[in-house]
Amino acid sequence: MTNYTPTALAGRRLPNRWDAVALLLVSGLLVALVSVGKGTISTSITTIQNSPIHLAPRYLPYYALRSTARMFAALILSFLFTFTYATLAAKSRRAGMVLIPILDILQSVPILGFLTFTTVFFLGLFPGQVMGAELASVFVIFTSQAWNMAFSFYQSLTTLPADLQEASRCFRLSPWQKFWRLDVPFAMPGLIWNTMLSMSGGWFFVVASEAVTVGNTTFTLPGIGSYVATALAEKNLPAIFYAILTMFVVILLYDQLLFRPLVAWSAKFRFETTATSSGPEPWMLKVLRRTALFQELGDHLGAALRAFTRLRLALPARRQVDENASPSRLVDILWFGLVALIAVYALVHIARFISGSLTWQDLGTAVLMGLYTMLRVIILMVIAALVWVPVGVWMGLRPWAQRIAQPIAQFLAAFPANLLFPPFVLLIVRFHLNSDIWLTPLMLIGTQWYVLFNVIAGAAAFPGDMKEAVANFHIKGWLWWRKVIIPGILPYFITGAITASGGAWNASIVAEVASWGSNHLTAHGLGAYIAQATNNGDTARVVLGVTVMSFFVITINRLLWRPLYAYATRRATLG
């Protein structure tokens, strides 16, 4: 018999009781992926269109699996988009001047606007196959996830402390190494919180992404979104309750298995010079660290990632430029001229397309509807800031509160506005209330969480040495808010406000038009205008509505949010 010394045992991974659990989890994941893949690749679109959505609760696990797979596929695309688009916008001043306004436009374009132009495209890529419909659904979910992640990463890259950047130059890190060893770790705390919000955003628009009607094109994919749409159409309250319960279980599962370990892991990337106390380790993180199977997988994955991030990839050598030198005005003029020509070219083509079937009166109607929606957005943003900034700061400074509220906040952020149609519609119809006023709270459901999650991320990333200094100087009350915490979380708050503002315009699509059985309510606003045009297959009015909405969002961002963001960035990088 072999005798193991304590030293030998220390370097040897021994199986434990969690190995069986790990093997079960991995096997279950593989079976689930195979099941989803088989149902996606080998099925024709005709089969999907002719197969009804069953409201029996026994079908919900399969529907939940299909919806969750689409969301994680969209999340992978969102990470790829974030690491490329936001990096280019942050690293290149001239590119940022174009890419950030484009990002403002993209986050304001309603998902129905994307559906109008992408559904036919993806269905054409895979004629007769359900893969085209699946890709269209994943793309719609991607549009509800990517923008706030890109804004969060951009905000982190533009607020990197100067001493960290100087340290990366001293260590002679290549641009590739600097990206993975400085940029990504520094952005990780805020990015993780925005990733959780992105998953919730996918749930918020799950009905529109799986039960799609654009003109004469209709498809209903198996999923919780289609289940909810069918339950709403049939006025089946028990089915709606089952859908809510299933969503809560799914959100709780991926919170415990994925996001809670990620939040605990990202805490080590906080920028501070003093050690801070951390909460208890999540149980899933313990499983990952103490299970032989996961340890082996983690070691191999970690070795591959380290080799990947150590590559000295760089752009071709170029002439050294003095960092303090002012940018070339001639190059700026030429660059702005090129961008202006492209913008004018696009506007001319949009105007020609719209003028073929619409008049100036239609433009005036769209602008008037935009003013209605803008008023709602302003009111809701003020309410969200007054309510959720104090709550987010309180939670961000207390890890135990984060652990309790994290799954609850994810569930509330993921709660689709469509599920609240029954009580709102019945209340408005029963008491003859004004739809323009009482449908407005539905917009707040999907937008307030951008502010809350970003404020939590900002407060959680607040340096521990600053906390100690504030405690030593006994700074409290309004002075603490005005001089300490508000400047500390300001970049995060503005990032959340920008995405919340764009999200509010987007949410108007589902909030300004509500249905419950035969009862249909419509509020005056640009969201209802676009929703009705989409259902009618009126592409010209969809384009007009999306263009007007984009104009409103860009104007508000240019006049309000971008100046505030530039101010917050200067404060963060200088101090």
- Which sign, positive or negative, has the C-alpha torsion 454, 457, 463, 466? positive
Contact assessment for residue 191 and residue 495, using Cβ atoms and an 8 Å cutoff: no
Rounded to 10 deg, the angle between the 130-158 and 60-81 helix axes is: 50
Contact assessment for residue 95 and residue 332, using Cβ atoms and an 8 Å cutoff: no
Q: What is the pLDDT of residue 1?
A: 43
* The one-letter amino acid at 130: V
Q: What is the pLDDT of residue 370?
A: 92
Q: What is the pLDDT of residue 387?
A: 92
**Segments making up each domain of the chain, as ranges:** 18-272+279-313+330-574
Q: What is the pLDDT of residue 364?
A: 92
pTM of the model: 0.77
User: Both tokens of residue 256?
Assistant: 């415990």
Contact assessment for residue 219 and residue 137, using Cβ atoms and an 8 Å cutoff: no
Q: What is the pLDDT of residue 14?
A: 43
Q: What is the pLDDT of residue 3?
A: 47
pLDDT, tens only, 329-374:
777 677 777 777 877 877 787 777 777 788 888 889 999 999 999 9
Three-class secondary structure of residue 305 per DSSP = helix
Q: What is the pLDDT of residue 11?
A: 42
Task: Please enumerate in sequence order all residues whose Cβ is within 8 A of that of 5, keeping only pairs 6 or more positions apart, or say none.
Answer: none
- Residue-wise DSSP of 77-88: HHHHHIIIIIHH
pLDDT, tens only, 308-329:
777 776 544 444 444 444 556 7
Three-class secondary structure of residue 36 per DSSP = helix
Q: Provide the 10 A C-beta neighbour count for residue 440.
A: 21
Task: Please enumerate in sequence order all residues whose Cβ is within 8 A of that of 452, keeping only pairs 6 or more positions apart, or say none.
Answer: 384, 388, 391, 392, 409, 496
Contact assessment for residue 491 and residue 159, using Cβ atoms and an 8 Å cutoff: yes
Per DSSP bridges, beta strands 217-220 and 513-516 are: unpaired
Q: What is the pLDDT of residue 20?
A: 64
Q: What is the pLDDT of residue 551?
A: 86
Report residues of the chain scoring pLDDT below 50. 1-14, 315-325
Q: Provide the 10 A C-beta neighbour count for residue 60.
A: 21
Q: Which of 99, 119, 112, 189 is nearest to 143 (CA)?
A: 112
Q: What is the pLDDT of residue 316?
A: 47
Give bridge partners of residue 213 from the DSSP assignment. Answer: 218
What is the distance between the alpha carbons of residues 251 and 242, in angstroms, rounded to a whole number? Answer: 14
Q: What is the pLDDT of residue 418?
A: 65
Q: What is the pLDDT of residue 150?
A: 92
Residue with tokens 């103490």: 290
What is the distance between the alpha carbons of residues 448 and 309, in angstroms, rounded to a whole number? Answer: 36
What is the distance between the alpha carbons of residues 461 and 189, in angstroms, rounded to a whole number? Answer: 7
What is the distance between the alpha carbons of residues 379 and 323, in angstroms, rounded to a whole number? Answer: 43
- What top-level class would CATH report for the domain 18-272+279-313+330-574? mainly alpha
User: Both tokens of residue 16?
Assistant: 């434990």
User: Both tokens of residue 556?
Assistant: 């508000």
Q: What is the pLDDT of residue 86?
A: 92
**Strands annotated E in 435-518:** 513-516
**Strands annotated E in 221-263:** none
Give CB contacts under 8 A, 24+ apart, made by 313-316. 313/174, 313/175, 313/176, 314/174, 314/175, 314/176, 315/175
Q: Provide the 10 A C-beta neighbour count for residue 334.
A: 11
* The one-letter amino acid at 404: I
